Structure 1
């Protein structure tokens, strides 16, 4: 297997060791150096189900909180029912994060059982540890709905995995930042400009084509003349995708663009770091050319998407010649109003904790 050019870092350790905190500081340190880092989580599907469950029973989880017992159950059930799903889904989201512009991928919820596959995918394994009493205190202080099981099968074998690097998180944040700086110095393989690395351009065309195919698969079964003609996909920094279907109304101005529908789904899921949008058009039965083709966002969608994703880019071109252009370039003189506290900046969506 060819090792990916884009650096990949996987953090593993027992609950409370500080994986999520380390990932956040690591991402900040990389971005301070000009690196675009994306945190991609293996267990993202479990958190989606957890969120949907608590919403459905009328007891939504507070921001940055978990139901550890439910996640343990879901993890076991996913792995038993569809053994390869979590890692294959993770692999796809990693590819999507790279398509969204990430230079470095960070996984902050690696498990020992996944170490071999993560190594095969090109991840550097970093074990985060802390004294047991301190780790348990941190875990308790998180205020989760229920606590996860430290001896759950997916947590087993932490000490059996030989990591590429180790971080002992037994001090304050300043100490952890110093350890992260040391880790980055060890990982830095580019003596020319000091960057940890950059996404290889060789796979970009394939990743964009995969995104196009996804949008085409959305619109194909749902196409209805004068009702549903456009399908759209929005990609976030962490590799999550949100789809939308154009809804035509009898009164034209009541119609809703596919990009707006996808944006609503992204905001509902707490996604704020919007990076890429791709819309496709299905031909009408009367048209000779029966190919589904990419279409640039309309003017209204350009305004709307820039309201919620100031750094978002659009995929345009032909199916076999896709390119990416900053939305700001498609709308050089965006309207700036006074509805929000900071003109031109959308209020943040709720942040859903993923580990």
Structure 2
């Protein structure tokens, strides 16, 4: 199961307050109702990660959805100054991971003019979201952000020079916007497929395996850390974990469980792919860091949190994806949860 089919890709542009996120959410809902498995993948995720760490570190965590626009402006400029290619390359890796995990539609709801050419090269259909200036400014002011981002910041300049494939007028109410997004969705579905632009499934799986191998290579300690794991979320984010061996064997913690905890702590609930690798002991002749399937306990806990998760296993043709449920065909189902497990779809 390493066949990679390029998903439908849509990038929403617009000044702050125009309604990119709202339009993206409605488009996600509409495409899902049309049978698409939709992932929202943001270009600025690395900026949001640094912002979250900053506010957590000083003990003033941001409320859900709240931003520090001035900080994000600064971070965006600094990321681009240090490595002009990083944000788009990182974004391409994440939307590719999302597609590998099953997404056949990807929405970028925070595109910036500086990235328009790069997103078009990656096969994204360009959609501009507009609103009257007074309406846009009022919406922006009402978001409750810690600080407001500058409309004239370099990352926002050039919006008028972009020639979009489609445009959404967000000047009226939510019902009117929903109708316009539904019309857009029909047009997007009718578009011819775009090329993959970023490698096939085998190459993407190999990249995830290398990440796990690099992780255990850097942290291997005999009788303490022998396994490294990687979990991929539906939005393409990647979480790593190390096996923790204990003096009392039954107290040991598997690498997959550590990665699962990190993913949940980061707010990721839609978990799609898991893989693990084992580092050889010094006494072993074979020195290869090899893929290993999750153990039985890991299969149990992972399926508790994601019923549709896939595992990466060895095959004659290289790493391959299989449904984790196939590795545990008779999963235990108890009565601990009165409602469905916390696993969520896109």
- Structure 2 length normalisation: TM-score? 0.92
Aligned equivalents of 2:306, 2:12: Cα separation in 1? 28
SS at match of 2:155: helix
Check the 8 A contact 1:103/1:198 in 2, yes or no: no
Pair 319,290 (structure 1): closer, same or farther in 2 beyond 3 Å? farther
Shifted more, 43-52 versus 144-153: the winner is 144-153
Contact residue 128 and residue 168 of structure 2 kept, 8 A: yes
Structure 1 residue 286: Cα displacement: 2.2
The answer to whether the 8 Å contact 1:98/1:199 transfers is no
Answer yes or no: is the 8 Å Cα contact 1:230–1:280 preserved in 2.
Answer: yes
Give 1:197 deviation, angstroms.
8.4
Alignment of 1:235-246 (within 5 A): 235-246=232-243
Whole-angstrom CA distance in 1 between matches of 2:196 and 2:91: 18
In the alignment, what sits opposite 2:324? Answer: 327
Structure 2 segments unaligned to the other structure (5+ residues): none
Find the aligned partners of 1:19 and 1:319 in 2 and give their Cα distance: 45
Which 5+ residue runs of structure 1 have no aligned equivalent? 349-355
The residue aligned with 1:231 is 228
Please say if residues 293 and 318 of structure 1, whose CA atoms lie closer than 8 Å, have aligned partners that are also in contact: no
Match of 1:353 in 2: none
1:44 has 2:40 as partner:
no
5 Å-filtered alignment, 1:4-83, equals: 5-83=6-84
Distance in 2 between the 1:23 and 1:56 partners? 30
Q: 1:72 to 1:151 in 2, by over 3 A?
A: same
1:184: how far off?
Answer: 2.1
Partner of 1:115: 116
Larger mean Cα displacement after TM superposition, 312-321 or 98-107 = 312-321
* 68-77 or 319-328, which deviates more: 319-328
Return the offset for 1:285: 2.0
Call closer, same or farther: CA 1:319–1:228 in 2, change over 3 Å: farther
Aligned partner (choices 329, 342, 346) of residue 342 of structure 2: 346
Contact 1:27 1:37 in 2 (8 A): yes
C-alpha RMSD over aligned residues: 2.2
What is the alpha-carbon distance in structure 2 between the residues aligned to residue 42 and residue 146 of structure 1? 20
Corresponding residue for residue 276 of structure 1: 273
Please name the residue that 1:87 is paired with: 88
Verify the 8 A CA contact 2:123 2:196 in the aligned structure 1.
no
My pick for the range that moved more, 82-91 or 236-245, is: 82-91
- The number of aligned residues is 340
- Please say if residues 125 and 165 of structure 1, whose CA atoms lie closer than 8 Å, have aligned partners that are also in contact: yes
Is residue 151 of structure 2 the alignment partner of residue 150 of structure 1? yes
Counterpart secondary structure, 2:15? coil
Which of 259, 262, 266 is matched with 1:262 structurally?
259
Report the alpha carbon displacement of residue 199 of structure 1 after superposing the two structures with TM: 7.7
Residue 347 of structure 1, CA deviation? 8.2
Matches within 5 A, 1:153-302: 153-189=154-190, 203-302=200-299
Asked if 2 retains the 8 angstrom alpha-carbon contact of 1:103 and 1:199, the reply is no
